Structure 1
Amino acid sequence: MTRPPGPRVLTDEALSELLGARHFSVLATNRRDGHPHLTTMVHGWDPQTRTVRFFTTADRVKAGHLRRDPRAAVHVQGDDVWSFAVAEGEAEVSEATAVPGDAVGREVLAMLPEPMRPAPEDERAFLERLVEERRVVIRLRVRRLYGTALDVDG
């Protein structure tokens, strides 16, 4: 009787590629009582600085959690349910964008995947909306990357 294959640990390079290839992830923050808070997010990955970036509104629960306790993790699923990457680290929450086109607004714009970016003629309105919504950027400085893949057929 042959044993089924076990999980294969992904290399740092493979984990980085997975984080960059996917735009949706699950962000885990810590509630005051210690329980995790999970939320699906659009993210951007910068492998040079090992930073995962998200944007949200200044008053969202996850932003409050991270201001109080910066420890967080991000889970990204691979091509199938058997592969994943996790990035752990400490996050910082920016100030809310205050002027259309300021540094925070431009950072949000830069992290959007191509299908979500506004057309050039709509960019000003998009940046104005970010100010109205009090958008902030969450920067998760990754200290640890891990994940596995399970090579199975079907």
Structure 2
Amino acid sequence: MTQGPAPRPLSDAAVSDLLAKQRFGTLATVKQSGHPHLTTMLYTWDPETRVVRLSTTADRVKAKHLRRDLRAALHVQGGDVWSFAVAEGSAEVSEVTTVPGDAVGRELLAMIPPAARPENEHAFLAQQVAERRLVIRLHAERLYGTALDING
């Protein structure tokens, strides 16, 4: 019986590229029990600062977890089931946006790709306030991932 190819580790640059290509990933936070809490999230990746930004509301469990334990990771699926990227590090939870157009609201707006920006920015910013939105900033201290090269 022949063994197939082994997964190859991705370089930091390749992991960063994969993070930049995707928009959805699985955020892992730490429950009080020590078990992981996993949730699918829309995110943005800034390769220059190595920061993952995620939008959530103040009452979500992930925000509560991160206020208690800053350790988190984002897992992103590659182009096939054999590849993935992970950004792992410490997160910070912003204040809740409270006034349309405040710094947190502007950061939330900046997370939207230019082509998808809302026509009425003020309405968007007011909605973020009404939803009690905030930004989770995951500072990637470690990047890792693998790919499996299969032809055919």
The one-letter code matched in structure 2 to 1:151 is D
In the alignment, structure 2 segments of 5+ residues that lack a partner are none
CA distance in 2, matches of 1:127, 1:100: 5
Distance 1:82 1:114 in 2: 31
Give the superposition deviation at 1:33: 0.4
Match for 1:134 among 120, 132, 141?
132
Match of 2:10 in 1: 10
**What is the Cα-based RMSD across aligned positions, in Å?**
1.2
Letter in 1 for 2:22: R
Change (3 A) 1:109 1:83: same
**Match for residue 71 of structure 2?**
71
* Cα 1:22/1:114, change in 2 over 3 Å: farther
Residue 114 of structure 1 and its aligned partner are, at CA, apart by: 4.6
Inter-partner Cα distance in structure 1 for 2:67 and 2:105: 20
Looking at structure 1, the residues matched to 14 and 142 of structure 2 have their Cα atoms a distance apart, in angstroms, of 14
The normalised TM-score by structure 1 is 0.94
Question: 3-state SS of the aligned residue for 1:87?
Answer: strand
Change (3 A) 1:23 1:11: same
What residue ranges of structure 1 are gaps of 5+ in the alignment? none
Provide the residue aligned with 2:52 in structure 1: 52
Q: How many residues align?
A: 152
Shift of 1:117: 2.7
Q: Give the AA of the match of 2:3.
A: R
Deviations 1:19-47 (A, max 9, x none): 01111010000000011100000101111
For normalisation by structure 2, the TM-score amounts to: 0.95
Specify whether residues 76 and 115 from structure 1 end up closer, same or farther in structure 2 by C-alpha distance, changes over 3 A only.
farther
Segment of structure 1 superposing worse, 107-116 or 138-147: 107-116
Instruction: Assess if the C-alpha contact under 8 Å between 1:23 and 1:113 holds in 2.
Output: no
Give the equivalent residue in structure 1 for 2:144: 146
Measure the CA separation in 2 of the matches of 1:95 and 1:6.
44
Give the aligned partner of residue 23 of structure 1.
23
State the partner residue of 1:101.
101
The percentage of counterpart residues that share the same residue type is 67
- The one-letter code of the counterpart of 2:125 is L
CA contact (8 A) 1:29 1:72 kept: yes
